[in-house]
């Protein structure tokens, strides 16, 4: 009785196309955020007209991918905060879940490639608030090494999202392997003191403007 009505005809085809487009966009733009939107249509196996019928521009498509990543991150962090698990277990299970979903590929990997909405910036602030809360629970339990911040862990997860090795399954497996190294490095077990100052939230939010991304790209070493 509570089931959603089944889509038929053109509605069903539009829903299938949208799923294909979003999956293809994730594959294409995570490999190369500067790729043309035509590459997404080709990967999805749909006409460019069908893509533009659903998404008015490449920026619109990128915003949608980012919003999906934000929604997943927030759902996972809320679940971890309400789980009642040991703080370290809750935090590390959360890390594994968001790396599995590749939320950092869908969010900060795409930073600066589109103009985020005010709503998305508000969601980013909520991600920071809840993510920091979960991180601080683990710290208060004595499990996190001194000196490291929530934002520094976020940067490490971003580095995992940048890795492109083999196919999607291979890359996902390697991200989990490398996350295990990061998790072990977070433990408060006779750690080496951290040099320098941690990154700031102002530095993080500044990366979301396309102009900032262009300046960063000019100074980024090429492999």
Are the C-beta atoms of 153 and 144 separated by less than 8 Å? no
Round to whole Å and give the CA distance between 94 and 103.
11
CB 147 within 8 A of CB 193: yes
Q: Which residues are bridge partners to 187 per DSSP?
A: 144
In whole angstroms, what is the distance from residue 118 CA to residue 127 CA?
Answer: 14
The DSSP annotation for 9-37 comes to HHHHHHHHHHHHHHHHHHHHHHH-TT--H
- The pLDDT score that the predictor gives to residue 30 is 87
Structural tokens at position 73:
């991150």
Q: Give the number of other CB atoms < 10 A from CB of residue 90.
A: 21
**pLDDT of amino acid 96:** 96
Supply the pLDDT for residue 101: 94
- Rounded-to-integer distance, Cα 129 and Cα 206, Å: 18
What pLDDT is attached to residue 222? 45
| pLDDT less than 50: residues of the chain | 1-2, 4, 221-223
pLDDT in tens, 35-64: 999 999 999 999 999 899 999 999 999 999
pLDDT of residue 1: 44
For 55, 69, 86, 146, the CA distances from 139, given in Å and listed in that order, are 43, 25, 12, 8
pTM: 0.82
């Amino acid at each position: 009785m509570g089931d959603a009505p089944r889509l038929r005809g053109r509605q069903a085809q539009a829903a299938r196309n949208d799923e294909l487009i979003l999956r293809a966009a994730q594959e294409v733009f995570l490999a190369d955020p500067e790729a043309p939107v035509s590459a997404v249509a080709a990967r999805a196996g749909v006409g460019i007209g069908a893509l533009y019928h659903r998404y008015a521009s490449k920026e619109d498509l990128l915003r949608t991918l980012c919003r999906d990543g934000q929604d997943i991150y927030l759902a996972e962090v809320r679940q971890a905060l309400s789980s009642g698990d040991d703080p370290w277990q809750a935090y590390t299970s959360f890390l594994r879940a968001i790396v599995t979903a590749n939320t950092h590929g869908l969010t900060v990997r795409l930073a600066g490639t589109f103009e985020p909405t005010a709503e998305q910036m508000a969601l980013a602030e909520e991600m920071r608030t809840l993510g920091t809360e979960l991180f601080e629970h683990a710290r208060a339990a004595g499990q996190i090494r001194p000196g490291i911040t929530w934002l520094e862990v976020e940067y490490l997860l971003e580095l995992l999202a940048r890795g492109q090795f083999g196919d999607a399954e291979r890359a996902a497996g390697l991200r989990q392997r490398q996350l295990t190294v990061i998790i072990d490095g977070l433990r408060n077990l006779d750690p080496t003191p951290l040099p320098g100052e941690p990154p700031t939230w102002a530095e993080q939010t500044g990366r979301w403007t396309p102009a900032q991304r262009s300046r960063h790209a000019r100074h980024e070493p090429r492999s």
